[in-house]
Amino acid sequence: MNSGWWWAGILASIAVALVAGDRTVDYALAQVPLPPEVKLPQSARVYDRHGNLIATYRDEVTRFIIDTAELPDRVRNAVIAAEDRNFFQHEGVSLGGIVRAAWRNVTSGAVEQGGSTITQQYVKNAVLDDSSRTLERKVDEAILAIKLERRYSKDKILEMYLNTVYFGRGAYGIEAAARTYFAKHADQLTLAEASYLAGLIPSPARYSTGEAAKARRAYVLGAMKQEGYITAARAEKALDAKLRKKRAPQLRRRKQDAAYFVEWLRKEYLYPRFGDCLYRCGLKIYTTIDAGMQKAAEKAVRSTLNEKGDPEAALVSMTPRGHVRAMVGSRRHFHRIKKARGFNFATDGGRHAGSAFKPFTLLAAIEEGISLKSRFSGHTPKEIDDPVCAGPEGMWEPENYEGSSFGTIDLTAATTSSVNTVYAELITEVGPDKVADLLEDLGFSGEDSDDVAPVCSLALGTLDVTPLEMARAYAALAARGRLPVVRPIRYVENGNGRCVLGFGSRKVMKKQRDCRKIVETEGEQVVEPNSVDVLTQALTNVVEAGTATGAQIGRPVAGKTGTTQDNRDAWFAGYVPQLATVVWMGHRVEKGPDGKAGTSDDISPLMRYCSDPRRCRPVHGIDVTGGSFPAAIWSAFMRVALEGVDVATFPTPYYTPSRVINPPPPPPPKKEEKPDERGKPEKTEDIDEGGPGNGNGNGKNKDDD
């Protein structure tokens, strides 16, 4: 050894001794978090209801803990050759490495080299969590490394290291690295791939691409050859092999299965509950989404709205218990997590629901005992003379869609044909306050508060709502009046398989460790089941013979179309006993000519024909209604979603409301017959009791056809 090395060793020993004196005692007595007590950061994994992995949550850390004893020798040996050839000989600290590093640092005047063993690197990254290059940290590292070696076997320490070392691109651990760089598991790595990954460890940014990457791989393969791990021929073949880099789909930042659902889950439920632990604690999140149904929903939207310039669309499907089975937040970008972090049309904002909101007014009427046999005039336009409906511009004067006029019809027919003017009269009979109360019971809220404003236009769907809110309300109809808790999550386990969250469940006992034993709470019964059964009968007519025949799927369906003023929004909301699904479509609000969003010049394009092509945009050559594209999307999705599900019928009401508003006039009396002179019966004049249709016996009003 030359004099330089000798003096470097003396200086290093003195420095270590001075610093280590007190710290050795401290670390010997302190409760040091040694493995496996150390909580290792891991990405969260998201599963669908069948246990299929659909996504991961990661921030800057992606890690999957594996049993590295099952790795092929080429993977383990590549890392040892690259980072610590004497790993199996030293006891945690390599004095030769320390001396070499000390000499480099003394001669350069700065701390440039560490000389750490694999054991020391593990301590630095997993225990100390300290990347500083100070003498104090190096002493702490050495003390803990020796302590670690005395407690665990070499194979166990190597496993700990391989599960924590950083490989770049946010990948911590050999399994995450294999998935991130090559879209495969670590036990599938070739020699060329293993040597490449091992070469990244000192500086992933420097050695990941170009000539530096190939030179580093050559260094690792050369070290493996020198240590006798591989032959020269194998080393040469591995160096010449072409690497095909590809990131696993679940780890691509810009792509994610069910992206809108996964991002909504993170933002609304998981991050507020777990914080950064979501990215580091190895959580296993078992959701209620069905991967097959999700793909069917995306396909239904994509195949129906398949032309450039088509409007946006959203779909939410939910069981009567609130389990979210599918969520589409846009007609495109189903797998783009960056897009999903923008606007989600299924959950954000709100649009008018139009006639898809009428069932709630009808339900409120049924709850008040009003019979569906009640009759109203369907002529249009109609002035509603009830002061409660008057506005600043005078009396409310609603119109039917496209000016269609009807005679005097009952509520079942008015629902089947979606007659606005009948529903305008109906809400005055029920009272807008009662409709508002029912809407609040069904989970809707006002624009600025939880209270829904009791206005007459609620009957025609002027409250801003989201497809998610509508799906929950229609799921309550499928559940016969029991409002479900929205349940996108079944339960969450930590990395050790212990239950940490039983979502929407009864109070969990502190000792409960198995999430699968937790029983879900029932939703709140907000409407009488029989009242919903009566409503459902009316809504089945809409699909069988009304505005939603396009939603027929060969089994009983109840539902309602919705088309807002000027065809701005179109909806179809429907349900079978096992599943409720809501579809919305409409254009995005666009910036006005001045190019600034949020101004009075903003354009909200209409899905119909008119003279202004910028403002009016029919879809595939037609004016859009809820019975067109939304019903078609709904039908295409539900046919797939219900494959293999038994056909179920809706319950028959055991009684029907009896209060008939504007009952039909009584039938005319029977004609009297008396013999004439020749013994033949003589006809008498019919007696008109008030004329057809006004129900008040005075014969003043006639139907307009």
**First-to-final CA distance of the chain:** 112
Higher pLDDT, 164 or 50: 50
Per-residue model confidence (pLDDT) at position 673: 61
Residue that is written with structure tokens 């020993």 in the block: 13
- Judged against a pLDDT cut of 50, whether residue 670 lies above it is answered with yes
pLDDT at 98: 61
pLDDT at 691 over 70: no
Tell me the one-letter amino acid at 285. Answer: I
The 10s digit of each residue's pLDDT in 164-216 is 888 887 788 999 999 989 989 999 999 999 999 999 999 888 898 889 999 99
174 closest CA partner among 200, 155, 151, 203:
200
Number of H helices, E strands in the chain: 23, 18
Lowest average pLDDT, out of 9-23, 195-209, 227-241, 432-446, goes to 9-23
Decide the pairing of beta strands 681-682 and 674-675: antiparallel
pLDDT surpasses 90 at 476: yes
CA 491/CA 512 separation, integer angstroms: 13
Give the burial string for 636-657 (b: 16+ CB within 10 Å, else e).
bbbeebbeeeeeeebeebeeeb
User: Over 50: is that where the pLDDT of 113 sits?
Assistant: no
Average the pLDDT over 367-395 and give the result.
Answer: 93
**pLDDT score of 58:** 76
Integer CA distances (angstroms), 319 to 118, 236, 292, in order? 52, 59, 15
Q: Using alpha carbons only, what angle is made at residue 76 by residues 87 and 84, rounded to the nearest 5 degrees? A: 25
Whole-number pLDDT of residue 648 = 97
Q: Do 470 and 582 form a contact (C-beta atoms < 8 A)?
A: yes
This prediction's pTM: 0.74
The mean of the pLDDT values for the chain is 84
How much is the pLDDT for 1? 45
**CB–CB of 235/222 below 8 Å?**
yes
What CA–CA distance (Å, rounded) separates 332 from 339? 9
The per-residue pLDDT for range 331-361, each reduced to its tens digit, is: 988 888 888 888 999 999 999 999 999 999 9
Residue-wise pLDDT tens digits, 130-171: 555 566 667 777 888 888 888 889 999 899 899 888 888 778
What mean pLDDT comes out for the span 676-680?
54
| pLDDT at residue number 375 | 97
Binning pLDDT at 50, 70 and 90, where does residue 449 land?
confident
Q: In the predicted model, is pLDDT for residue 580 greater than 90?
A: yes
* For range 557-574, the mean pLDDT: 96
Residues 589-642: tens digit of each pLDDT? 876 555 555 554 567 899 999 998 888 999 999 999 999 999 999 999 999 999
CB atoms within 10 A of CB 374: 22
Q: How confident is the model at residue 693 (pLDDT cuts 50, 70, 90)?
A: very low
Q: Do 487 and 503 form a contact (C-beta atoms < 8 A)?
A: yes
- Residue written as token pair 């929407």: 504
Residue 464, phi then psi, degrees to nearest 5: -70, 125
Q: Two tokens at 100?
A: 């070499």
Amino acid at 689: E
Residue 74: is its pLDDT beyond 80? yes
Which position has the higher pLDDT, 234 or 126? Answer: 234
Q: Which two tokens stand for residue 644?
A: 């293999």
Is 543 in contact with 638 (CB distance < 8 Å)?
no
Considering only CA atoms, which of 223, 247, 282 is closest in space to residue 57?
A: 282
Residue 424 corresponds to which amino acid?
A
Picking from 678, 699, 681, 682, the residue whose alpha carbon sits closest to that of residue 690 is 699
User: For position 191, what pLDDT does the model report?
Assistant: 96
What is the pLDDT confidence band of residue 68, given thresholds at 50, 70 and 90?
confident
| pLDDT (tens digit per residue) in 496-530 | 788 888 875 554 444 456 787 777 888 999 999 99
Query: Is the link from the previous residue into 36 a cis peptide, with omega within 30 of 0?
Result: yes
* Residue listed under structure tokens 């993977």: 75
Does residue 11 have a pLDDT over 60? no
**CA pair distance 336, 326, nearest whole angstrom:** 16
Q: What ranges in 242-287 are assigned the alpha helix state H?
A: 259-265, 271-274, 277-280
Token pair belonging to 469: 């809110």
Q: pLDDT tens-digit profile of 404-436?
A: 999 999 999 999 999 999 999 999 999 999 999
Burial (CB count within 10 angstroms: exposed 0-12, middle 13-18, buried 19+), residue 528: middle
Residue type, 503: F
Q: Minimal CA–CA distance to 604: which of 595, 596, 592, 594? A: 592
Tokens for 90, please give them.
């030293």
Q: Where are the alpha helices (DSSP H) in 227-258?
A: 232-240
pLDDT digits (tens, 9 = 90+) for 248-287: 666 655 578 899 999 999 999 998 998 878 887 889 999 9
* 440-443 long-range contacts, CB within 8 A, separation 24+: 441/483, 441/526, 441/527, 442/360, 442/472, 442/473, 442/476, 442/483, 442/526, 442/527, 443/469, 443/472, 443/473, 443/476, 443/483
Please compute the mean of the pLDDT values over residues 554-572 and round it to a whole number: 96
Q: Which are the contacts of 575, defined by CB distance < 8 A and separation ≥ 6?
A: 474, 475, 477, 478, 557, 558, 559, 581
Judge if the upstream peptide bond of residue 668 is cis by omega within 30 degrees of 0: no
* Residue 630 φ then ψ, to 5°: -60, -45
According to the model, what pLDDT value does residue 142 have?
A: 81
Contacts 24+ apart (CB under 8 A), 22-25: 23/136, 23/139, 23/140, 23/143, 24/143
Nearest CA-CA partner of 317 in 329, 303, 335: 329
**Burial (0-12, 13-18, 19+ Cβ within 10 Å), 3:** exposed
φ/ψ bin of 49: left (φ > 0), alpha (ψ from -120 to 50), beta (otherwise): alpha
Structural element, H or E, at residue 408: strand 408-410
Q: Supply the DSSP string of 139-171, one letter for each residue.
A: HHHHHHHHHHHHHS-HHHHHHHHHTT-B-STTB
CA atoms of 365 and 426, how far apart (whole Å): 8
